[in-house]
Structure 1
Amino acid sequence: MIIKKADIEAIAVKPNQYPEANVPEIAFAGRSNVGKSSLLNLLTNRRNLARTSGSPGKTRTINFYKINDEFRIVDLPGYGYAKISKSQSAGWGEMMEMYLEGRPNLLKVIQLVDIRHAPSAQDVQMYDYLRHFGLDGIVIATKADKVSSNERQKCINTIRKTLKLSLEDKVIPVSALKRTGYEELLDELEQLITNDFGVTE
């Protein structure tokens, strides 16, 4: 797959603000500061499509990006940032829950974790939630350039063990800085869309 066109289509906090459920959607979830915005910019070849921030917890909405006029990438609010209030955190959780449980055209949620650290309790909780709704199966290990090639497999094994991944679940190490791993991820997106909706380039 080659992403030739990527545009923000909607910024939402509740279902009546979502765009029409007329194309497949693939969502991305992860802890604040895991590198989600950088990854989305890498995938779409747009430097500032998803805004990166030095202050974690800034994404407080569900952002819908229309890709190649064929499908959407959905950026979910980051979770797990200690300096936000419990009421904010609960609000974001409710926002995501409404989207994940009620969106008929959602194919998959790709979870991001930092390759340098074992997944947190909140990462595990999120993946268990995705598993419950059949939205699991792909994990992105971000910041792969921060570990050596010798360490990488050990880190991936830790991720697999902590999240209790099955043999079929995929872990894709990605570095937005080095631009590695994103082609494999694009292939996964293409396969998801083609298998479920018959959409091709």
Structure 2
Amino acid sequence: MGLLGEGITEVIAVTKDNAAPMGIIVKPGMSPRMILFKGSATVENILKHGWVTANFVSDCYLYPQYAFSNAAPSDFSEVFVGGVMMQRLLGADAWMGFLTRVLHETEETYYIELMPVASEYIREDPRPINRGFNSVIDATVHATRYVHSRDDSLKMLIEYHLGIIAKCGGPREREAGVLLKEICGL
């Protein structure tokens, strides 16, 4: 799939006239998946239209922007892929289009399977955002202070980020997590 690696990759998910930060789950031997909370515009659009695009952006500002405000119509470009008219972010470095299928429903969530139908690199060297990667950075910053102070509040922060690394990181992030545990004596 090129743009998606093992773990949970953070993207800006675009559905009909909507954009929101979202994690795409990739595990060996499985198609990509998303867990969506009921009541969101994203889940309603996926249920109604049956598609989503994953937009890979290197502008970190877009994550909080789309998490807390609506996208403008001028933020999107239409693309016809997989027999469906979809939208992608104009500001994306790369994007993937998916057809969707509900695999499981709970009282609060939908577990959605993503079937890739198209992808495009728009800018050179797009870099998907992996939550584990970000937590490696945060845990490392805390660890540089912890090894000198042994402050319990720093230890708690490191353990928090190690949990994210274990859950959301790929193989390299998990290797870094093991190294951080060794360095910190955890």
- On whether the aligned pair clears a TM of 0.5, the verdict is no
Q: Which has the larger radius of gyration?
A: 2
* TM-score normalised by L of structure 1: 0.23
Normalized per residue, which structure has more strand?
2
* TM-score normalised by L of structure 2: 0.24
